[in-house]
Structure 1
């Protein structure tokens, strides 16, 4: 099975569309409508940066609002921000919020809105659904679905996290060891996501992203130095290695969640939903890899048998590819300090 995974890795690398430095492909837009009292709302609109220019999307608030389009956005070093205050006589309920241009992108926009002071909800808009009507009484299900989907998107488009999980699949033999390693990774990043989100421990984003790339380089080294006579550290204690690095990856997930934004008053629910989405995406990725590997093993048993041996060109090639990609990420992220 490990040999098939090595072959599958070559296909995976060839299919990567994003550049090597883009560990997190998800860069959602964000719209916040905060009730200021009476008929007044404060709008915060954040557009992703694309090559030094704002993404070509805009926002349209309900027609009843006095200023229902955003003023010119200003770059804050990470995204393009616009803020303004608008009057919406009668309130937002029943009004339409749209993101023109979103249908031509591959990103999402999270809309957090307040029907009245202290009562907030969220809605995730996509290329296939770039608009929605604000309900009069939004419920917790809205937040649950929106942040769950954002979690799934983040892990499936976060190539660095997937590459880490993929390297674990290459290194670990046995379903119980693999289950233990994946469980330890899940527990670890769930812990650090929570403590970072609630402000118990906070780490700056760039160093965390650099160390995440370094964790993948470590797994590549373990894969390269495997031999048939002695198990490597990751093979002997896979749960310990995945738990340790999972703590770091959790800070990366928390950073992405902070960029997306959390609804006031519903932070625990949003955090839980996002984390469940991350886990669902991770399980989906592992399932696709293992099913594809089993399929290839059925049709190429001789090839699989040949490249399962430690030190074989297939295993060595996968290690060098993983190590090279993560090294480029590491250098790029260090340079971004």
Structure 2
């Protein structure tokens, strides 16, 4: 089990220092007239500078490249108007430099009439041709992978799930806890995305860090002859904090953007991707644990005992990291 902990630490440090992975880029093209278009181009921030990726519209557009971007505290944005002779249907859009990054770019094309067309560009696929006959499947192809990448890149969300795995020993309680977490964050993510409920993002992110600190303290206070609240009613704990994490997911989805005519479908696709990513993570951790149990059963048994070196070390690691995030996010209120 010590190997599992080391593996998890290494995974956590393969990404950026922030709690979330680098946000994807976002390009929105809105048709204003037969040949006129409004372009919104958002690039992720990298150490105080815009990521070195550049949008290139078709050569028929009189402004094929954007003006210098401005920074709003989260992303670098450019907004401009361009005229493209003959329109954009069947024309290529390319993100130069994307092939040298590890991020994606979500492209939304909003024609004057008809459904919004969405496309996800990656380092392996840096451009696409705007289809003349769009398919609704393009929304699913774009937003499901974005959901998977967000949860697998969101270290704070994964750390919460990992802490649940350390606390809950009964497989049925674990199943109910994961299900409750899923249901809870699905509810608040949908409510926030559809504008039924609104909470400011920075306080939500700070409280998410507190939720992880709570689970770290529960790990430390485990006893052999007495179950903690999180052990007796894990579904209640995971459901309560899952509501908060849902607001975090909604904030990420708002940064990415939603097709106005396909909001329910895009929301379902993104949430499906989040669940798939969560299941992938849980399955990976459980598979490693099962493998270790087969190879070193006695060691795993000792590691799972309350106050074992593994659990104490894990709790301090989780608590210290979440405390750092909490302080960082609270101080960000005043930045």
TM-score range, shorter chain: over 0.9
Cα shift at 1:118:
4.9
Aligned length: 332
The aligned runs of 1:235-314 (5 Å cut-off) are 235-314=231-310
How far has the Cα of 1:305 moved from its partner? Answer: 2.1
For the pair 1:117 / 2:134, whether they are aligned, the reply is: no
Q: List alignment gaps of at least 5 residues for structure 1.
A: none
Aligned to 1:85: 81
Q: Distance in 2 between matches of 1:148 and 1:247?
A: 21
Paired residues for 1:1-337 under 5 Å: 4=1, 7-15=3-11, 16-20=13-17, 22-337=18-333
Question: Runs (4+) of structure 1 moved beyond 4 Å?
Answer: none
Structure 2 distance, partners of 1:115, 1:308, is 57
Tell me how far 1:320 sits from its aligned partner: 0.7
Q: CA deviation at 1:115?
A: 3.5
**For residues 15 and 209 of structure 2, what CA distance do their matches in structure 1 show?**
16
What is the alpha-carbon distance in structure 2 between the residues aligned to residue 314 and residue 254 of structure 1?
34
Deviation at 1:301, TM superposition (A): 1.4
**Aligned partners of 1:140, 1:154: CA distance in 2, in Å?**
22
* Partners of 1:204 and 1:129 in 2: CA distance: 35
> Structure with the greater relative contact order (CA < 8 A, sep ≥ 6): 1 or 2?
1
Deviation at 1:18, TM superposition (A): 3.4
- Distance in 2, matches of 1:17 and 1:221, equals 26
Within 1, Cα distance between the matches of 2:222 and 2:206?
25
Instruction: Quote how far apart the aligned CAs of 1:7 are.
Output: 4.2
Answer yes or no: is the 8 Å Cα contact 1:7–1:314 preserved in 2.
Answer: no
The structural deviation recorded for 1:312 is 1.2
Distance 1:309 1:81 in 2: 51
Conservation of the 8 A alpha-carbon contact between 1:223 and 1:316 = yes
Q: 1:94 to 1:19 in 2, by over 3 A?
A: closer
What residue ranges of structure 2 are gaps of 5+ in the alignment? Answer: none
Question: Greater shift after overlay, 231-240 or 26-35?
Answer: 26-35
Cα pair 1:26 1:154 within 8 Å, conserved: no
Evaluate the alpha carbon distance shift between residue 61 and residue 19 of structure 1 in structure 2; reply closer, same or farther with a 3 A threshold.
closer
Mapped to 1, the partners of 2:55 and 2:265 lie a distance apart of 27
Give the whole-Å Cα distance in 1 for the aligned partners of 2:74 and 2:301: 48
RMSD, matched Cα: 1.2
CA distance in 2, matches of 1:8, 1:157: 19
The question of whether the paired residues in 2 share the 8 Å contact of 1:63 and 1:95 is answered with no
CA distance in 1, matches of 2:195, 2:274: 20
- Give the Cα separation in 2 of the matches to 1:86 and 1:144: 29
Distance 2:134 2:16 in 1: 39
Structure 1 residues 262-303: Cα deviation after superposition (integer angstroms, max 9, x where no partner) = 111111111000000000000011011101111111111121
Deviation at 1:116, TM superposition (A): 3.2
Which SS does the other structure have where 1:59 is aligned?
strand
Q: Does the 8 Å contact 1:28/1:109 carry over to 2?
A: yes
Residue-by-residue CA offset, 1:186-237 (whole Å, 9 max, x unaligned): 0000000011011111111111110001000000000000010100000000
Where 1:119 maps in the other structure, the secondary structure is coil
SS at match of 2:32: strand
